[in-house]
Amino acid sequence: MKISLIELYHVQIPLQQTFWPTWIPGYPQTHNGFTLIKLVTDDGIEGYSAGSALGYEREGLGDLIGGYLLGADPTDIESCQSLLKQAGILGWRNFWIEPACWDIIGKSKGKPVYELLGGEARPIEVYCSTGEMHEPEKRAEELMAMKERGFKVAKLRVKNKALKDDIRHIEVIRKGVGDGLVLGVDANQGWLVTIVDKIPAWDLKRATEFAEACAANNINWLEEPLDSRDYDGNAALKKISKVKISGAELNYGWDEIKIMLEKDCFHIYQPDATFAGGIAQVKKVIDGCHEHNREYSPHTWTNGIGFYINWNMVLADRGNKLPLEYPLEEPSWVPQEREGIIEPIIPDKNAMLAPFTRPGLGFEINQKLLNKYGKRFFKLTETRLKLKVIRQKGLKAALELKKRKESQ
């Protein structure tokens, strides 16, 4: 089996209302944007994946990855991982593409990806993961409404300039919701962006003081309180914190996260398979968490396809009891716009997701919605690649390249 067709799409789904993500303070997000990749094998099996995008920044991605992936065997994950790593020479994080190969493998075998990884179908609890900062009194009311809808766990965001305001935020919310709702807090310091609002980065002193406030207010976990590559700082905080410290959602795969496990940076590791090395590397993280007696709960705040990818990873982790992140910020970030080109993912009245059994990653692309919101910007077949090489390198060089490849 080999990849015979590669297509890339810009997908931009307009939101019902402007979304103000806490991780980019002051930035108005009007669309859910991502890059969609479609891989087709020589026997017609299609595999899809998606990577988050702010706009059209991946316009030249096809020229970069096309020559690496065309003709590759999608069932040879180790080789595909190596090719994507090589194609990252200019700094691109390309591992979000790797799940498309798993989608092909699952479809070819008639099994969901989580089964291929040793998992089994089971219901999964989800928690309400907010994405904006609202006034704490208002947020408390919103969370109580979510509790009425069945959510037992929710995650807040903090992003004030002053520590005292962040502490007041969680104090007011905890008082407002009482003790009947499990709360986590995300400081979003792992990936600090200050292109609009100039929010200061936290140091160990501020993170420690806030962790103490979290403990005093019965907060269950504190997420990304320090820079994601401050291994020593995170380890020092984890050692003294009375609340669980979590992170590693965007770190660069197993090679980096295994160092974090060795340094004991977190209680809970949260690699998102669309950022942190793809499915194969996150599976290594899950195994590493078992070995080091740590917990795994992935970041899922990307798009519906990214959610399915990480949902597969939780189902692959048979002993996982933690609820799965469910991004929700009404009315701006809701299932229809979050999923965009696939069927909306809706939990039941007890905040449970029924298991899916469809082969591959588990979703189906709605071609009508893709035509509406997507724009194909790259297509490559073997014939197109040959013509491209001839145009760019000349016929003589193209024939020499062909000869060298065939001799390998």
In angstroms, the CA 202 to CA 150 distance is 34
Q: What is the DSSP string of 337-352?
A: HHH-SS------TTSE
Q: What is the number of structural domains in the chain? A: 2
Q: For residue 227, what are the domain limits?
A: 115-353
In whole angstroms, give the CA distance from residue 309 to residue 98: 10
Assess whether 150 and 288 both reside in one domain: yes
Looking at 324, 353, 382, the residue that finishes a domain is: 353
State whether 99 and 15 are in the same domain. yes
Q: Is residue 358 part of a domain?
A: no
Positions of the chain with pLDDT lower than 70, given as ranges: 393, 395, 397-398, 401, 404-407
pLDDT at 391: 79
* 163 and 231 belong to one structural domain: yes
The per-residue pLDDT for 269 is 98
Write out the two tokens for 393. Answer: 């390198």
Model pLDDT, residue 263: 98
pLDDT value at residue 55: 87
170 and 60, same structural domain?
A: no
Specify if 275 maps to a domain.
Answer: yes
Please report, to the nearest 10 degrees, the dihedral formed by the alpha carbons of residues 272, 335, 135, 220 taken in order: -40
Domain assignment of residue 70, yes or no? yes
Query: Could you give phi then psi for residue 62, rounded to 5 degrees?
Result: -60, -40
pLDDT at 397: 67
Domain containing residue 319: CATH number: 3.20.20.120
Which two tokens mark 380?
């490559």
- Let me know whether 137 and 175 are in one domain: yes
Q: What is the predicted pLDDT for the residue at 138?
A: 98
pTM: 0.95
Provide the CATH number for the domain around residue 75. Answer: 3.30.390.10
One domain for residues 330 and 189: yes
Confidence (pLDDT) at 401: 66
Domain shared by 215 and 142, yes or no: yes
Among 308, 331, 353, the domain-final residue is 353
